Amino acid sequence: MCGIAGLINSQSSGNVKIVEAMLSAMTHRGPDQDGLWSASTNGRELLLGHRRLSIIDLSEAGRQPMVHPQDNVVLSYNGECYNFVELRSELMECGHEFVSSSDTEVLLAAYVEWGELAISKLRGMFALAIWDPKVQALILARDRLGIKPLYFQERSGRFAFASELRAILLASEDVPRLDPVSLNAYLWHGFVPGPRTMVRGIQLLDAGCTLRVGVDGYCESSKKYWQIPMPKTRPDLVEAKIDAVKELESAVELRLVSDVPLGVFLSGGVDSSVLAGLAQKVSDQSIRTFNIRFDEEGYDESGYARRVADSLDTDHSEILIDERAFNVGLSDALDSLDQPTFDGINTFFVSKAVRDAGLTVALSGAGGDELFGGYSSFIDIPRAKKLSRLSNILPSSLTSAVGQLGARILSGAGSEIRPQTRFGKLEDLLDTRGDVLKLYQVSYSLFSREFLATLLLEAEPVLPWGLEKKRFADLQEQTRHADVLAAISHMELASFIGERLLRDTDTASMAASLEVRVPMLDHIFVEKLAALDSATRYEPVRGKQFLKDLIAADLPADIFDRPKAGFEIPLELWCRRSLKDEMEGCFSDLVTINAMGLNCETVSRVWRAFKKGGAGVYWSRVWALYVLIRWCKLHGVYL
């Protein structure tokens, strides 16, 4: 796991310093080694840089950027190729020779042998940059599900890219400006959906895409080489299920390969328990598992994790995160955010604790809820679909009036702002008229559309459902023929996982120099699941029976007989206690808030409503605003 950066620019003595500054800003991503390669052609200069976190082949033979000895192709690569042993054997049959045991050398040879088709042969997580002197082009690529990020900026023949947006800010010649469309999208989601970022002119390469850039610094073409598969149910469902299970076992086994200490995050829930069980099954030694413990009742699930670990006979450790430790580390955690997001803080603290315990690699059960219907969205959206269809018989004006009246009645009195959940968004729900994508967007919106408009000083640009037109149209087309559960799963993978959870996990874990691997998001496993019908895959809804069956023989029968509880730091409590003064100061910074294009009075109303315990004004609303304001001030990013 590493950090990469690069620059195409007119020849200048300052180019090297720019890339060195970008790499220095990402030292946390690769504290073990750094490297810089440069070349000049036709008055243009190309530089590729690398920060290395050594995982496979810790020797100098794995140093990057790596240059092919015959073809002079250059590779700077962030990630892990889990099928590199298989690819190496195939390439050796083609006549290639290898001097290291690193996956980087295999990737480089694969490109020399197959060109851009090599990218579709990779099984893993990656963001990579390849300079091909034969075609005088830089090829960028990102893994299929977006586990590893890759940002870029194209401006008047000057092209910069990096694993982190903040690194590109150091390479930019312009004062960074807040993107108004991204601001609008952030207030809807609590994160910025790609390809936009919070900064104007800096883009995120889409997952499963390649980008070709000419030596002149201009983007030439972009291709989508993989798409989240939609259901194509096979008639032999029993065999299809067996194939999927085998592929998951293979995905776990491949991700246990490491030349440094490795462990498994174990929350005690279904996903992490299955992961730990499979890892223990395919490993020839006892797997190390880790659990985070809290003092606050209602948040601590360490007892469940301990029961799972005892049943599986793992080498288990518990790590306490209390309110004091959180406050001490909060500044570093917030400073680590590459883009503002209301999530990610929990992953930072977990990653730092596991890294401090001596591990460099950790496996996570991320993906189980999205793939098997574990979220409440799989119940709530089908119910809301039935309710919202009633609005089809009413004109739009009457639908709006009914929604507003119902919200007031159902919400009750009290808070100076209407609740921003469920009943408070009734008008938005009815306005979807049963469209699943719109319902999905409403279910995850932080604020109602009416209230969101009051948060912004300027109402434009308007994102009616939190998404730009093209992204909205793409998602609708991709899910048009799917049943409602399959459509929700697709949206969870494309939006929640791809745009928020994976991106936050990458940033937060790499801030602690920890590599996190996600076996359940192996693309071949995801493709195998597409052969299953919805009943096999999702029912009973939220039960994740498919996964439970994999581990049932190894765990007590009652271990999962409890309400689902995702890993969550007690921020609700801490925002009202030890963080109260810090957040109060942030929300009182009227100069910063105004410069961001936010309405100071509306922001203050949200904070006051939260402090008073207003119905439906949850911690996530004030936390999202707090993180946004702090991030913009820290990086000097304003409209």
pLDDT in tens, 342-360: 888 889 998 999 999 999 9
As a whole number of angstroms, the distance between CA 375 and CA 492 comes to: 9
* Digit-coded pLDDT (tens) for 410-441: 555 556 788 888 777 888 988 898 999 999 99
Task: Rounding to the nearest 10 degrees, give the CA dihedral for residues 253, 258, 262, 268.
Answer: -20
Determine the pLDDT at residue 565: 62
Is residue 407's pLDDT more than 80? no
Q: Nearest to residue 28, comparing CAs of 65, 56, 3?
A: 3
- Label residue 576 left, alpha or beta by phi (over 0 means left) and psi (-120 to 50 means alpha): alpha
**Token pair listed for 231:** 């259901």
As a whole number of angstroms, the distance between CA 623 and CA 346 comes to: 13
Q: What is the CA radius of gyration of the chain?
A: 24
What domains are defined for the chain?
Answer: 2-224 (3.60.20.10), 237-373+503-554 (3.40.50.620), 570-639 (no CATH)
Is residue 151's pLDDT more than 90? yes
As a whole number of angstroms, the distance between CA 298 and CA 606 comes to: 25
As a whole number of angstroms, the distance between CA 447 and CA 371 comes to: 26
- Which amino acid, residue 164? E
Give me the half-sphere count of Cα atoms (radius 13 Å) on the Cβ side of residue 583: 27
pLDDT (mean) for 22-48: 95
Task: Rounding to the nearest 10 degrees, give the CA dihedral for residues 627, 355, 21, 119.
Answer: -100
Query: 167-181, 209-223, 364-378, 480-494 — which is least confidently predicted?
Result: 167-181
> Where does the pLDDT of residue 451 fall: very low under 50, low under 70, confident under 90, or very high at 90 and above?
very high
Q: How many residues does the chain have?
A: 639
> Where does the pLDDT of residue 564 fall: very low under 50, low under 70, confident under 90, or very high at 90 and above?
low
**Token pair listed for 111:** 């490109």
- Which amino acid, residue 332? D
> Where does the pLDDT of residue 571 fall: very low under 50, low under 70, confident under 90, or very high at 90 and above?
confident
Query: With contact defined as beta carbons under 8 Å apart, do 166 and 30 qualify?
Result: no
Cross-strand bridge partners of residue 129: 76, 140
Determine the pLDDT at residue 394: 62
Q: Nearest to residue 26, comparing CAs of 175, 166, 198?
A: 166
Question: Omega into 461 within 30° of 0, i.e. cis?
Answer: yes
Task: Rounding to the nearest 10 degrees, give the CA dihedral for residues 302, 307, 311, 316.
Answer: 30
Determine the pLDDT at residue 558: 87
> Where does the pLDDT of residue 404 fall: very low under 50, low under 70, confident under 90, or very high at 90 and above?
low
**Token pair listed for 79:** 């990630």
Query: pTM for the whole thing?
Result: 0.95
- Which amino acid, residue 402? V
Q: What is the DSSP string of 196-259?
A: B-SBTTEEEPPTTEEEEEETTS-EEEEEE---PPPP---S-HHHHHHHHHHHHHHHHHHTT--S
Is residue 61's pLDDT more than 80? yes
Determine the pLDDT at residue 7: 97
